Structure 1
Amino acid sequence: MAVYEKVKRAIEQMVGDKSSEFKVCVEDTRGTLGGILIKIEDVKTQEISAFRINEGDEGEAEHMTMYSVDTMLQRRKAEGIARLEEIERVLGIKFEKWQREYILSRGLGYPIGGRRTGRTLAHQVKTLMKSKDDIIIYPNQRWTYLDEPERMRNSERYAQGYVKKLRELSEKLRNHGINVPRVIEVDDPQAEFLTKRMNLPARRGDGMR
C-alpha cells in the first residue's frame, strides 16, 4: 500500500536506522470510521499514536507521521531527563550539560578525553538507563562494558573493578526505588557455554553496542 510506504519512509527520514523502534499499521476504515486509519507504535515505550486520513492523501499521511513521531520522541526525552534527575538526587551530584547529553544520547561519544572527567560514572549511568533487562556479565565479557573497551581490553584488574562499581551503582539506585536493571556477575567460566547449550540468552543490556 502506497500510504504504508509513505509512512515508513517518513519515519526513516526522522530516526534513520532506529526506524525499527516504530511499528506501523494501516487499516482501511472507509466502510466504518471513514478514510484510512494509521497507527504508529513506539516499541520502546508501547505508546500508540493513531490518526485518520482521506484515501490517497499521502501528503497528510507524511505530515501526521512526522508530527506523531516527533511528539513520541520528545516524550521519550522528557522521561529520560526526569529519570536522570532522580539518579542525580540519589547520588547527590549534578552532571554537567555535556555529560547529560552523552548519557541521554544514542551513539554520541564522550566529548572530553583524559582522566578525572567523570566519564566512568556517566558511562555507567548510561549503561543502566539504556538497558531494559538485567545485565548478565561473564568473565570474558567484562571488558566490553568499559567506557573505553578497546584501550582497556587487556586490563582484567581494571575491568573487574569497573564491573563491581557498576553492580554497586545498580544496587544503590534500586534501593532508592529507581528502576534500573540488576548487574549479575557469573564467575563460572563454563556458565556461558552452558547457557548457549541450553539456548538461553546470554544478554547484553547496555543498549549501546
Structure 2
Amino acid sequence: MNLVYCKYLMSIDDKKLAEILLQENYLTEEIIKQAEERSVTSKKTLFADLLDQNILSKDLIGQAIAESFGISYSDLNSHQPSKEDVLKIPEEFAKEHRCVFLKENEETKQVTITTDDPTQELATGLASLFPDKQVIITYSLGEDIDTAFFNYQKTLDTRFSKIIESKRHIAPEILQQIFEDAFIFHASDIHFEPRPKEVVIRFRVDGVLH
C-alpha cells in the first residue's frame, strides 16, 4: 500500500490559523490583526470571528489549512459520503484516527480517506484495511468529520432500549442522546409529540420538521 500525504497535522489554535491564512495569502496582516482584536474582546476564537464577520467561509478556511499541509481539501458538508462508504472503516479505528472513507477508484486502485488529523499511525492501520490500494489522504474540518461519524450511531429507539435496560440515569441519558442527534443534524429546535403509547421526537432542520 502506498500512502499519499504530506505533513503531520497538529491541532490548530488561533495563532497557527492566523499564520496559515497569512502564509497562504487568504488574508492580509491588517485584516488578521483586526480579527484577533475582536476575538479578544468577544472571547471568540479567530475561526468563529472570521465566520461571524463573513470574512471567510468554513470551506475557505478548511482549504487554506489543507493547502498549508500540502493536502487536498474535502468538503464533507456539501459532499457527504454515504453510510455504506463510512462503514468501510471500523468505528473504533475511524474515531481514534479521526478519519472517514470518501471514495474508491477501482481502475486506479485508489481509495480516498479524509481526516482532520493525518498522522503516521494512520498509515499502519490503513495498510491492513485496504491492502494493495493507494490511499490518498485529504483534509476536512473537524465538525464535518464528527457529522460523518453519525453514520455509526444506532437509531434513537435502539439506544433508548439499551439505556432503559441498564436502569441507570434513564431520563438524563435519553435527553443526552436526543441533544447529541439534534446537534449533529444542526437542528434549530426539537419537537416532542405525545401519542397514546409513544412519544414522537422530531427535529427541525433548515426550516423543515423531520
Higher strand share: 2
* TM-score (ref. length: structure 1): 0.26
Greater Rg by CA:
1
* TM-score (ref. length: structure 2): 0.26
Higher helix share: 1
Higher relative contact order (CA 8 A, sep 6+): 2
